[in-house]
Amino acid sequence: MTTTAPPSTIASYERDFLKHEDRADWLSELQRQAWTEFEKLGFPTTRRGNELWKYTDLRRLDSQAFNLSEAASMAASGELSKIAPWSDDWHSAVVIDGRFSPDLSRNVESAGVSISDFASTADSLRQKIEPVLGSLATVEDNAFVALNTALFQSGLLVEIGDDAELDQPVHILNIVSDGPDHRAIYPRTLLIAGSNSKAVVIESFVNLSSGPQLTVPVFEASLGAGAELQHFRVQLENEQSLHLGTTRSEQPAGAVFNSTTFATGPAIGRNDVHTNLAEEGAETTLHGLYITNGQSHQDNEISTTHHKPHGTSHQFYKGILAGKSRAVFSGKVLVQPGAMKTVAEQKDLNLLLSHGAEIDTKPSLEIYADDVKCAHGATAGHVDTSMLFYLMSRGIDRQDAAKMLVTGFATEIIDEFEPEPLREFLYEKLDQIVPKLDSEGIL
Amino acid sequence: MLEVTDLHAQVVDMEDGEILKGLSLKVNPGEVHAIMGPNGSGKSTFANVLAGRTDYEVTAGDIVFEGESILEAAPDERAHKGLFLAFQYPAEIPGVRPWQFLKAALDAKHEANGEKKLSVRDFSKLFDSKVDEVKINPDLMKRSLNEGFSGGEKKRNEMLQLAILEPTLAVLDETDSGLDVDAMRIVSDAVNALRSPDRSFILVTHYNRLLHHIKPDVVHVLVDGRLVETGGPELAEEVERDGYKRFLEEHAPASA
Amino acid sequence: MTTPSKTPQTISRTTDLSEMEYKWGFVTDVDAEIAPKGLSEDTVRFISAKKNEPEWLLEWRLKAYRHWLTLQESDAEPKWAKVEYPPIDYQDMYYYSAPKSPEDGPKSMDEVDPELLEAFDKLGVPLHEREKLAGVAVDAVFDSVSVATTFADKLEELGIIFCSFNEAVQNHPELVKKYLGSVVPYTDNFFATLNSAVFSDGSFAYVPPGVKCPIELMTYFRINTEGSGQFERTLIIADKDAYVSYLEGCTAPIRRTSQLHAAVVELVALDDAEIKYSTVQNWFPGTKDGVGGVYNFVTKRGRADRNSKISWTQVETGSAITWKYPSVILRGDNSVGEFYSVALTNNHQQADTGTKMIHIGKNTKSTIVSKGISAGQGQNTYRGQVKIMPGAENSTNHTQCDSLLIGDRCGAHTVPYIEVQNPTAQLEHEASTSKVSDDQLFYLMQRGISEEEAHHMIITGWSRDVIRELPFEFAMEASQLLKVSLEGAVG
C-alpha cells in the first residue's frame, strides 16, 4: 500500500490516540505500535499501482477529520428490536459508539460462550488474548486495521468453548448513536472458537445518525481445529458516512469459516474480508449482497489464501446498483505452491439499474499449484427483459414484475442468513430499499 | 495370451485401499471371458489395472501379456502390444476430432511394431467403412471426441475404436451399463464380428444382459478382489437368477 | 525465480563495436552504421537523419523522447505486470544498428548453435530461410524488417499499399502523418513512448475504400544484433468498407543476453472496415535455465469506427517476458472487437498478456478467448480490461479465459478488470484453471498415443477456439510451435 505525504488530518487522529485511558502495558504497547504503523502508512490513495484501492477514492479523509466519539447512552433494549435484527434468545452484546454496553446486552455468559470487554480487563485475559489479537488482523500495510488497533475503545472477546455447539447465535450489535457529525467509531471484536465448536455469529452495524460518521471495525476470528463458524455481517449505513470494515480469519485443519454479508447505504463502504486456509482440509465460503443507490460507493475486497492441500473456498457476491452509485468487487484466490487438490470458485453477479451507476468487478486467481480446480465468473447486466415479459404476460404489471425480479436476484443471498429473525429483518429492509432504488422508473 | 497371477492392487498412497486381493486369471487366444461381480468387488479396478492406469499401484503379483510382464509398461506401450480397454466412462476431449485421434493412435501402434503407417487416404477408407459398420452417426465424427455424445453413442464410439485398432485382447468395462436394447446389439454385433481364434475378450459386467448376446467361454465371479468361482455360461445364469448373495455369503470377509 | 540477466559486455563482438565509436558523434562506416550505445536527443536525430525523414517526423520523435525523459524521471516504467526482471539500463543499449559486415555473423551453418538448427528442423523452416534466421546470410534488413511483397503488382493494381514503414514515410507521408500516433499516442505508456522516439522500421499497409485485400499480408520480424533493442512500428489502415488480413511472425536467434523488443502496432478500421491481425510470436525465450531471451514489451491497439471489426489473434510461445495487451477502442456504433490468444510459458518464461476492450459506441460487441498454458517454472498471467463507457448502450462482451498447468512449479493467474458504466450492457466473464485431466490422458494413452503426444493433442484441442482463427498455414505452424515449446515439460 502506498501513500502520499501524511495528510493534515492525521494530527487529529493523533490527539485521539493520546487521549487513551490507562490500559494494561502490553495492550498499550500493541496500540502504540499500531499507531506508529498508521502514521507511517497514512490513508491509502488510489495512486497508480495501488491495486487494493484502485477503485475507491478516500481523499475526503485527508481534508475532513473524524474524531473519536464520546460515550453515549441509549434507551432500553426494547427499542433495539426496532432498529436491528434482534431476538431475546440470542447472546447479544450491544456496543454503542464503540463502547460495550453491559446493560443492554443479554445472555453474554452462558454455557459454552462468554462475551466480555478485554480493553478494561486486559490483564486477566492477557494469556488468552495476547497471542491472537492482531495476529490475523495485522497492522502491517493496512491503515484501517492499524487505526482501529490504535484507537479502539472497547474490545470484545467472544470465547466459544471447545466442543461447544451453540443453540443460539452470538450477536454483536454495533450502534452509532444519533449525535454530532464527524465522529469516529472503532469497533473491535476478537473471536476465539474452541476446537470442534460450532457457532453462528452475527455482526450488525446500525447508524442512527443522519450525518457523516466514520466507522472502522475489525473482526478477527481464530478457530480451533475442526471448528465451524458461520459469520453474518450486516452493514446498514447512512448515505453520509464512511464504513471501512475488516474481517480476518484463519482456519486450521478441518475448520470451516463461512461469512455472508449484507451491505447497503454508505457514502463509502469497504468490506475487506480475508481468510487463510492454513492447514489441510480447511473450508471457507464468503458470500455477500451489496445494494447501492444514490451516490453510495461500496467496495468488496474479498480474498482467500490456500496454503495446504484439500482446501475448498467459495466466493459468491451479488450486487444491485442504482442511481449514481458505484460498487466494486475485488475477489482474489491465491493458491500457494503445494496446495494440491484445491477447489476454488469465485463469482460476482451484478444488476445495473440506471445510467450513472458503475460496477467494477475484478475476480482474480493466482495459482501456483497444478492439481487444482479453480473457476471464476462475473456478469453485469440489466433486468432480464424476457423474464420481465414472461411475468407481464401472466398479468403482473411492469413495476411489480421488475420489483419481483430485483428482489428475486437478492433472495439467493438473503436466504443464507439462517437465523429467522435476522432473515426476516433483512427481507423487511429489502422491501423498504428496493422501491426507493433510483432505477429510471423501472421499479 | 494373458496370465494374471495373485494380483494385488490398491489406490495409490491410500492406506487400507487394497481393492484387488490376489486375483489370478488365464485367458487363452480366442477365448471370451466374462468377469461378473457385485458393486465394489473390484471389476473396474481390474480393467483399469490391466490397462495401466497410474491411479492404482500393483503391490504384488504379475500380469503377463503375450509372454511378457507388462507391469512396468506405460498405458500406451500396453496398447501397442494389443491391449484395448473399452471404457465405462470414455473421457470427453475438447477440440480433438475422432478421425485425428484414431489416426494418431493407429500410427503410433504401427510405428511401435515396426509396421508401415497407413496413408491418409487408406486410413480414411478404413475409418469410413468402420463408421458404417458400427452404425455410428457420421455427424458425430465431426465433433470433438466424445463431447456431447449420449451414453450409447460413446459406447458405439468405443466399438469403432476397437474395430479400427484390432487389438489382440479387448477388455470391455461395463460396456453394457446404460445401454438400451438396440445399443446392446450394436456392441455385441461388433464384438461377435471381431471374435477370432487369435483375439480374446474380457467382458467385465454386473449383469448377465450382455452375455445373452455374446456367449462367453468362461465366466468368473469376482468378490472382494478375488475370482471366487469359475465356470461356464451356467454360472452367469445363476447370477442372473439368484444374484450374488450366495457368493457374498461364502466369500466375503467376515467383517463385511 | 531466476530471471534473465542483461550482460551486454560479455560478448567480444559487442566490445568491438564499442571501440568503433567516435567520441564526438556517430560512425558512418561502409560496413556498419551504428549509433553509439545509449539514448540521447542526438540518437533520435541520427536515426531520423539516417532514414531521411521529414522535419515533422523528427519533431514528433523528439517530443516523444522528451516525454520519455519525464517518464523515466518519475519512474513510470510499468511495474504492475506480474513479471520480474532486473532493471533495464536504457543507456547500455544500441538504438540503431543497420547493415553490418558479414564477419559479424557465423561463417557457415557449422558455426550455428545446433540447438537452434534442431528447432528449425522441428518447425520445418526451409533451409535457405534457416540460414537467414540463424544469421548466416547477411542481408540489409537484419535488425529491421523484411517485408514480403511477392504480390506487389497485384496489390498495386487494387491500390493497396504494403511496404516498409520508412518507404511509407517517403512515398505516402500524408497517410503516415494523418494516422501515426492516432491510436497509440506518443504519450501512451513508457515503452510506446520509447518506441515513438527511436523506432527503426516496420510495416505499413493501407487498403483503399471498398477494397477487400485478396491475399494475406505478412511480415516476418527478426532480431539479430547482440545488445540492441528492437523498436518496430506498424501502421495498418483499412479505409471505409475495406478488408485486410495481416500476419506477423517473429523469431530471433539464440543470444545469451536479453534483448528489449518494444514495438507499437496501430490499426485503424474506418467505417464498415475489417482488420484481422494474426501473430505467431516465437522470439527466443531464453535458455532452459532462464538466460537471455527477448523482453517483448509491445503496445498494440486498434481503433474501430462505425460498423467495423478488428480481430486480434495471437499465439505466444516465445520471449523470456511477454507484456502485451492488443486492444480495441470500439468508438463507432456497432463495431466489433475480438481477441483470441494462446500464451504458453515454459522453463523460466513469464507472460503477462491479455487485452483491453473499450466500448464507447452503441451496440458494440467484444469477444475474448484466452488460453494460458504454464509449464516448467513458467508464469502466465491473463490481464484484461473490459470497459463499458456510459454511452455504450446495448453493448456486449463475452470473455472466456482458461488456464492449464503442467507441473507443480509453474503459475497461472487470471486478472480481469470489468468496468461497466451502462446498465443496458451485458457482460459475461468465465474462467477456469486446472491441470490436464488424468482421465483424458489415460484415455488417449490407452489407445496407444504417447504421453507427450497425448498432452500435445489435448492442449491443441483445448486451444482450438483460438487456433482456428488463424489462417491455415499459420494454424499448422502454431500447433507445431506449441509442441516444440512444451518439449521437456511432460513426462
Q: Which CATH number belongs to the domain containing residue B164 in this structure?
A: 3.40.50.300
| pLDDT over 70, % of chain C | 78
Distance from CA of A171 to the nearest CA of C (A): 36
Residue C254: per-residue pLDDT: 59
List, for residues B134-158, the tens digit of each pLDDT value.
Answer: 888 999 998 899 998 988 889 889 9
From the list C412, C420, C429, the residue facing A377 with the nearest CB is: C429
Count Cβ atoms within 10 A of the Cβ of residue A215 and give its class: 0-12 exposed, 13-18 middle, 19 or more buried. buried
| pLDDT over 90, % of chain C | 59
Structural domain boundaries, residue C270: 145-486
CB contact under 8 A, A381 and C427: yes
From the list B74, B84, B85, the residue facing C451 with the nearest CB is: B74
Residue A426: per-residue pLDDT: 97
For chain C, the average pLDDT equals 82
Residue C14: per-residue pLDDT: 25
From the list B78, B96, B109, the residue facing C461 with the nearest CB is: B96
Residue C450: per-residue pLDDT: 94
A280: pLDDT confidence band, cut at 50, 70 and 90? very high
Q: How many CB pairs under 8 A join B and C?
A: 84
Would B214 be classed as within a structural domain?
A: yes
For chain A, the average pLDDT equals 93
Q: Which of residues C124 and B35 earns the better pLDDT score? A: B35
Structural domain boundaries, residue B160: 2-251
Would C321 be classed as within a structural domain?
A: yes
Count CA atoms closer than 13 A to A136's CA, side-chain side: 30
ipTM for the whole predicted complex goes beyond 0.85: yes
Residue C477: per-residue pLDDT: 80
Question: Which residue of A292, A370, A379 to mutate against C (max C Cβ within 10 Å)?
Answer: A370
Is residue A103 within 8 angstroms of chain C, CB to CB? no
From the list C405, C409, C418, the residue facing A380 with the nearest CB is: C418
Would B83 be classed as within a structural domain?
A: yes
Would B256 be classed as within a structural domain?
A: no
Phi and psi at B194, nearest 5°, equal -90, -5
Q: Does an interface of 3+ CB pairs under 8 Å exist between B and C?
A: yes
Residue C491: per-residue pLDDT: 60
Does the pLDDT at position A340 exceed 50? yes
List, for residues C177-220, the tens digit of each pLDDT value.
Answer: 999 999 999 999 999 999 999 998 888 999 999 999 988 887 76
C287: pLDDT confidence band, cut at 50, 70 and 90? confident
The grid coordinates of residue A245 equal 470494515
Would C52 be classed as within a structural domain?
A: no
| Overall domain count for chain C | 1
| Overall domain count for chain B | 1
Question: Which residue of C432, C443, C479 to mutate against B (max B Cβ within 10 Å)?
Answer: C443
| pLDDT over 70, % of chain A | 96
Distance from CA of A374 to the nearest CA of C (A): 5
Does the pLDDT at position C263 exceed 60? yes
Mean per-residue pLDDT for A219-241?
97
Subunit partners of chain B (3 or more CB pairs within 8 A)? C
Distance from CA of A86 to the nearest CA of C (A): 36
CA-CA distance, A67 to A150, in Å (whole number)? 13
| pLDDT over 90, % of chain A | 81
CB contact under 8 A, C440 and B91: yes
Mean per-residue pLDDT for B119-133?
93
Would B63 be classed as within a structural domain?
A: yes
A214: pLDDT confidence band, cut at 50, 70 and 90? very high
From the list C447, C458, C465, the residue facing B105 with the nearest CB is: C447
CB contact under 8 A, C426 and A354: no
Distance from CA of C437 to the nearest CA of B (A): 9
Subunit partners of chain C (3 or more CB pairs within 8 A)? A, B
Would B132 be classed as within a structural domain?
A: yes
User: Residue B51: its chain C contacts at CB < 8 A?
Assistant: 442, 446
List, for residues A145-182, the tens digit of each pLDDT value.
Answer: 999 999 999 999 999 999 999 999 999 999 999 999 99
Mean per-residue pLDDT for A111-121?
90
CB contact under 8 A, B94 and C462: yes
Residue C103: per-residue pLDDT: 45
Would B158 be classed as within a structural domain?
A: yes
Would C40 be classed as within a structural domain?
A: no
From the list A51, A363, A369, the residue facing C408 with the nearest CB is: A369
Would C111 be classed as within a structural domain?
A: no
Does the pLDDT at position C451 exceed 90? yes
CA-CA distance, C300 to C307, in Å (whole number)? 21
Residue C11: per-residue pLDDT: 22
Distance from CA of B13 to the nearest CA of C (A): 16
List, for residues C315-371, the tens digit of each pLDDT value.
Answer: 999 889 999 999 999 999 999 999 999 999 999 999 999 999 999 999 999 999 999
Would B80 be classed as within a structural domain?
A: yes
B177: pLDDT confidence band, cut at 50, 70 and 90? confident
List, for residues C221-258, the tens digit of each pLDDT value.
Answer: 655 555 667 888 999 999 999 999 998 876 655 566 77
CA-CA distance, A327 to A175, in Å (whole number)? 24
Does the pLDDT at position C21 exceed 90? no
Does the pLDDT at position C421 exceed 60? yes
CB contact under 8 A, C449 and B105: yes
Does the pLDDT at position C135 exceed 60? no
Q: Which of residues C154 and B228 earns the better pLDDT score? A: B228
Residue C223: per-residue pLDDT: 56
Distance from CA of C83 to the nearest CA of A (A): 13
